[in-house]
Amino acid sequence: MGSGQIPQRIGETVTHPIQATAESIRNADAIVGIVVALPEELRTLSPEKIEQGQCRRFGKTWIAYSGTGIENAANAAKSLVENGAQILISWGCAAGLASELKPGDLVLAEQVLSERGQFETDLQWRSYIGQKLSSTLSVKNGRLFTNPKLVGLSLDKQRIRQSSLAVALDMESVAIAEVASQASVPFLVIRSIADPVDMDLPQAVLAGLNDKGQIELGKLLTYLLRHPWEVIGLIRLGLHFRAAQNTLKIAAKQLAILEALPFPIAN
């Protein structure tokens, strides 16, 4: 472990949390807290490994690897606030709900909503980041819907789109938004589209998931031996996910040049 990289167990109490102010948030000393749910999302920010349920400091940036789901994301966000985060960011991949969103498109959500409520993202930060990224990336705005469970069927995505008018879907952002609201710190969503609205997730993905929301290779291979035709869908999903990862890496590198957003640069 290199210097300046401080592991912290999510949920562990920090004695002297730093209180955010409007002035400090908008200067170069702002402490950024980022929540990622998957190890593949973590690698778009840093090659360093973080155990699930931990967060680590990189300069002025804290990154928490939460695992999937609302409860894990909430615990991660709380830990980041306890460590002094003055802005919280939900970072990673998302499913597309709007037909115009393609794999690799970047979503800077204006609102996050679920059955738990609705939250606004910070307009000033969102506009600033959007201006910096739009020259090199396809950046979209709109609502993001958080669902407590993985949505695999295109038909279900379409129904969520019709009822919520959201453009993208994830499983964590509303929990991070709730913590940010309670702590009175700005909140942002930076998500890249992996599976578009017209795509059903391969059944092999659902069969291979463990209780932490991660793919277990043994379970996946066992399913594929019985359903070899699923390989084509997995390859297609893998290409889409790679496009989303590449977009996030570009975004991370672009934001690394901003003094106010000291992101670590992923290789």
Residue 233 has pLDDT above 50, yes or no: yes
Inside any domain, residue 27: yes
Inside any domain, residue 267: no
Residue 7 has pLDDT above 60, yes or no: no
What's 74's domain CATH number? 3.40.50.1580
Burial of 156 (0-12, 13-18, 19+ CB in 10 A): middle
Inside any domain, residue 53: yes
211: which 2 tokens? 């209780």
Q: 248 or 217, which is more confident?
A: 248
Percent of the chain with pLDDT over 70: 78
Most confident of the following: 67-81, 197-211, 220-234: 67-81
Q: C-alpha 237: how far from its chain's center? A: 18
Residue 17 has pLDDT above 50, yes or no: no
Residue 119 has pLDDT above 70, yes or no: yes
Can you tell me the distance from the alpha carbon of 211 to that of 173, in angstroms, rounded to the nearest whole number?
A: 19
Inside any domain, residue 262: no
Residue 18 has pLDDT above 60, yes or no: no
- Our count of domains for the chain comes to 1
Q: What is the mean pLDDT of residues 151-169?
A: 96
Residue 191 has pLDDT above 80, yes or no: yes
Can you tell me the distance from the alpha carbon of 84 to that of 82, in angstroms, rounded to the nearest whole number?
A: 5
Residue 113 domain boundaries: 7-256
Inside any domain, residue 136: yes
Inside any domain, residue 49: yes
Cβ atoms 45, 263 nearer than 8 A: yes
Inside any domain, residue 265: no
Inside any domain, residue 263: no
pTM here? Answer: 0.83
